[in-house]
Chain A
Amino acid sequence: MARIVLEHLGKQFGSVAALRHLDLEVAHGEFMALLGPSGCGKTTTLLLLAGIYRPTSGQILFDGVVVNDLPPQDRHIGMVFQSYALYPHMNVFENIAFPLRLLRRPPDEVRRRVAEVAALVQIEGLMDRKPSQLSGGQQQRVALARALVKEPTLLLLDEPLSNLDAKLRVLMRAEIKRLQRQLGITTILVTHDQVEAMTMADRIALLKDGLLQQVGTPDDLYYRPANTFVAGFIGSPPMNFIPARIEMADGRATLVGEGLHLAAPDALVPVLASRRGSEVLVGLRPEDIRLSPVPAEGAPQARILDIEPLGREMVVAVTVGRQMIVALADHGFGGRHDQPVWLTVPTGRLYVFDPATDARIA
């Protein structure tokens, strides 16, 4: 239960900057996800928080207290490693009890707390087993229990779901979220899977190459991405980026790309007008694109390139000229390869990015 503040935090390994001046705040009891592709610095941040790495610049504050120089054993943190790191020579009980024994708590208190936390993650019957005798899901629960048993100030999770199979993953996602709500412990999760981050976290911090791209609620990142990286990372299938030019006529803005004319919604006109004539990148999410087998007014024509059925929906790749665009259609879509279709964006939900800075303009 702590408020965590990262001030201009940076970490260098020799000449490599793993993390660059990260500024981030995590509120009491908040569930924050550090999201990004491998090498973006999210695990580095986690290890800095745990005290295993020392920052080369910046500060880490727990409840307003600078803890840079505090060694891991004194930080009162619980951490679940990606590999779970359960001590192989100790059984489940001993693994969970370990932090308490290090704190020299009396044996009956240890027993009580271990039992409590074991009940919390539902592993009561496994106490005598060794980690090698547990399934992946069970190991993870034990790791969680060990992290929680000391009622930590901060809970750190390093890609907790990546070693689990798909079904278990969905289950544990809900479990962990429920636990966090119930216990109210400030939690920071590291993952490269945007679905994980979107479904579990209160807020997400998206990182790339050691730099923070955007921090906000899942909705913030989805509907109001700060740049092309965020827009392309969040959402699956990923957003389409189409080069286009802003053309103004009669107070209306049109985005003209290769073989494509897209009418911009009125709300965006003022912003676009100030950039008339310039080259931009238009972002369209596959789910915002409608494909029609019959020509529609003003709709650009495309050819079907590929269809991937996913059960309840289909991913359809079409080409407009040389540009490939991915769209989602529901399972009733009857198109076939090489057939012509017409694209519309009925929601008017398009995003405009500046190709020079990758930042979102509209």
Chain B
Amino acid sequence: MLREAARGPRRPARGAALLVLFLGPFILLTVTFFVAPAIITAVLGLTDLDETFQGSFVGLQNFRGFLVDPLLPRVLLNTLVYVVFTLGFNVGMGLLLALLTTYLPDRAGTTFRAIWLLPRLTPVVVYGLLWLWFIDPTPYGLFNAVRTRLGVPPLDLISWSPWLVIVLVNGLIGASLGMVIFTSAIRSIPEDYIRAARVDGASNLAVVRHIILPLIRWPLTFVLVAQTLALLTSYEYILVVTGGGPFYDSTVYALYVFRRAIQNGDYGYGAALAFVLVVVGALAALVYWRVLRFGRMITEPKIEVD
């Protein structure tokens, strides 16, 4: 203790050194590769940078270009359908799975939940591979193999209903998040409430309706908000399975950004498109924060000595 006191005037410098050592790398990396790109996106959006990496400032031209982009309306429609239906599937399926598996004995429930977690844990490309095999338009694919067996001609699912495909592809991944969250929420409902409800005369269905569902409103909100945000901005799976096709029929907004910017090389325009998404993302993150009172997560440290 005396040693510490004797260090006196050196402490502020030492404190600063520790701060740099511990927080420095974090701050450096996140600012460079996380914060800066956000700003770059905004700046880029104001240029007409193309695949030759030459461009100049063009002000809001790109943004005005949205209005005359022939592909954009279809993309927006795709995005709307995709988000709404996949959200419904994710939340609905997640809830259903959670409810069903919590009524089973632990082992069985865990097994089913493990199966539903497989898609999420599979590398994107492998998951895409499995889907590609499933929807293969030749009789090699599972879907059409079954159809052939039943004497029905093969069907190219992607062409027939691109929306259905992208909703299911992402739905199977997304449902597992809701499932895990809802399961733990249901499990954390004190046993006494369920017992009291039974003694009060409630059947299983009544317990679900009157006790379980009302008490998981919080996690439900969380999943809705989190999933909406994720759906608006993710496109990996669609990219692998449909590539956004046929043509642009299964391209959602986030994928459109990728296709225009990275595949076509319209960096300026792409950045402008991305900028919209960045703003949406930032707003959603704010909502996330507000709605779920993340502030509770931060408490002051207790040791004040340096």
Within 8 Å by CB of B198, from A71, A87, A103, lies A71
Let me know if B199 and A102 touch, CB within 8 A: no
A150 at the B interface (CB under 8 A): yes
Complex Cα distance, B199 from A74, in Å, reads 8
B193 at the A interface (CB under 8 A): yes
B187 at the A interface (CB under 8 A): no
A212 at the B interface (CB under 8 A): no
Q: Which residues of B contact A51 (CB under 8 A)?
A: 198-199
A78 at the B interface (CB under 8 A): yes
A333 at the B interface (CB under 8 A): no
Residue of B nearest to A80 (CB): B196
A97-114 interface (Cβ within 8 A of B): 98-99, 102-103
- Min CB gap B199→A, angstroms: 5
Within 8 Å by CB of A52, from B195, B210, B215, B217, lies B195
B24-68 interface (Cβ within 8 A of A): none
Within 8 Å by CB of A78, from B199, B203, B211, B214, lies B199
A9 at the B interface (CB under 8 A): no
Q: How many residues in B have their beta carbons less than 8 Å from beta carbons of A? A: 18
A73 at the B interface (CB under 8 A): yes
Q: Which residues of B contact A85 (CB under 8 A)?
A: 190, 192-193, 195-196
- Min CB gap A205→B, angstroms: 21
Within 8 Å by CB of B202, from A75, A78, A89, A102, lies A102
Within 8 Å by CB of B199, from A72, A83, A88, lies A72
B residues engaging A (CB < 8 A)? 190, 192-193, 195-203, 206, 210-211, 214-215, 217
- Min CB gap A256→B, angstroms: 54
Q: Which residues of B contact A89 (CB under 8 A)?
A: 214-215, 217
- Min CB gap A151→B, angstroms: 13
Complex Cα distance, B200 from A99, in Å, reads 5
Residue of B nearest to A147 (CB): B199
Within 8 Å by CB of A103, from B193, B195, B199, B201, lies B201
Within 8 Å by CB of B203, from A52, A73, A99, lies A73
Within 8 Å by CB of B196, from A47, A74, A79, A150, lies A79
Let me know if A79 and B210 touch, CB within 8 A: no
Let me know if A146 and B190 touch, CB within 8 A: no
| Pairs A–B under 8 Å by Cβ, sample size 28 | A50-B199, A51-B198, A51-B199, A72-B198, A72-B199, A73-B199, A73-B201, A73-B202, A75-B199, A77-B199, A79-B195, A81-B195, A81-B196, A83-B192, A85-B192, A85-B193, A87-B196, A87-B210, A87-B211, A89-B217, A98-B197, A99-B200, A99-B201, A102-B200, A102-B201, A102-B206, A150-B200, A150-B201
Q: Which residues of A contact B203 (CB under 8 A)?
A: 73
